[in-house]
Amino acid sequence: MELNMRSSRLSNGLRICTSQMPHVDSVAIGMWVGVGGRYETTRMSGASHFIEHLLFKGTKNRSAKAISQAIEGRGGYFNAFTQEESTCYYARVSSQHATHIYQILCDMYRNPLFASADINKERGVIIEELMMYRDQPQHYIQDMLGELLWAGHPLGRPLIGTPDNILRMTKADILAYKNRHYLPSNTVVVFAGNVDHDTCVAMVDRSLGRVRVKRVPNYSPVTKKTKQKDVAALSKDIEQSHLALGFRLFGRNDRNKYALKLMSVILGENMSSRLFQVVREKHGLAYSVHSSAQLFSDTGVFDIQAGVDRKKTGKALQLILRELVKMREKPVGTSELKRAKDYAVGQLKIGLESTISQMMWAGENQVSYGRFVQPDEVVRKIQRITPEDIQRLARQKLTRSNVSAALIRPDDEQESLALLRTELEVLRR
Whole-number Å distance between alpha carbons of 20 and 271: 35
Residue 190 and residue 258 in one domain: no
- pLDDT value at position 317? 98
Specify if 311 maps to a domain. yes
The domain total for the chain is 2
Whole-number Å distance between alpha carbons of 379 and 375: 6
- pLDDT value at position 216? 83
Domain limits at 271?
A: 231-428
Residue pair 259/250 in contact by the 8 Å Cβ criterion:
no
Specify if 64 maps to a domain. yes
- pLDDT value at position 348? 96
Residue 304 and residue 383 in one domain: yes
Specify if 220 maps to a domain. no
- pLDDT value at position 267? 98
Residue 188 and residue 248 in one domain: no
Give pLDDT tens digits for 237-280. Answer: 999 999 999 999 999 999 999 999 999 999 999 999 999 999 99
In the 8-state DSSP scheme, what is residue 153?
S
Residue 7: name the closest of 362, 328, 247 by CA: 362
- pLDDT value at position 92? 97
Residue 141 and residue 242 in one domain: no
- pLDDT value at position 214? 84
Picking from 208, 241, 263, the residue at the C-terminal end of a domain is 208
CB proximity list for 151: less than 8 A, separation 6 or greater: 226, 227, 228, 229
Residue 172 and residue 283 in one domain: no
Catalytic positions, please? 52
- pLDDT value at position 217? 84
Residues of the chain with pLDDT under 50: none
State the burial class of residue 305 (Cβ atoms within 10 Å of its Cβ: 0-12, 13-18, 19+).
Answer: buried
In the 8-state DSSP scheme, what is residue 332?
P
Specify if 262 maps to a domain. yes
Residue 238 and residue 313 in one domain: yes
DSSP string, 204-230: HHHHHTTSPP-PPPP-PPP-TTS----
- pLDDT value at position 215? 84
In the 8-state DSSP scheme, what is residue 239?
S
Residue 321 and residue 259 in one domain: yes
CATH of the domain at 375: 3.30.830.10
Residue 139 and residue 13 in one domain: yes
Buried b (16+ CB within 10 A) or exposed e, 6-45: ebbebebebbbbbbbbeebebbbbbbbbbbbbbbbeeebb
The total of other beta-carbon atoms located within 10 Å of residue 167's CB is 13
Specify if 404 maps to a domain. yes
Residue 297 and residue 238 in one domain: yes
Whole-number Å distance between alpha carbons of 306 and 297: 27
Specify if 219 maps to a domain. no
- pLDDT value at position 429? 76
Specify if 221 maps to a domain. no
Give pLDDT tens digits for 400-414. Answer: 999 999 999 999 999
Residue 53: name the closest of 178, 149, 231 by CA: 178
Residue 177 and residue 272 in one domain: no
Specify if 102 maps to a domain. yes
DSSP string, 14-30: -EEEEEE-TT-SEEEEE
- pLDDT value at position 104? 96
Residue 327 and residue 194 in one domain: no
State the burial class of residue 378 (Cβ atoms within 10 Å of its Cβ: 0-12, 13-18, 19+).
Answer: middle
Whole-number Å distance between alpha carbons of 18 and 7: 6
Residue 417 and residue 350 in one domain: yes
Residue pair 64/58 in contact by the 8 Å Cβ criterion:
yes
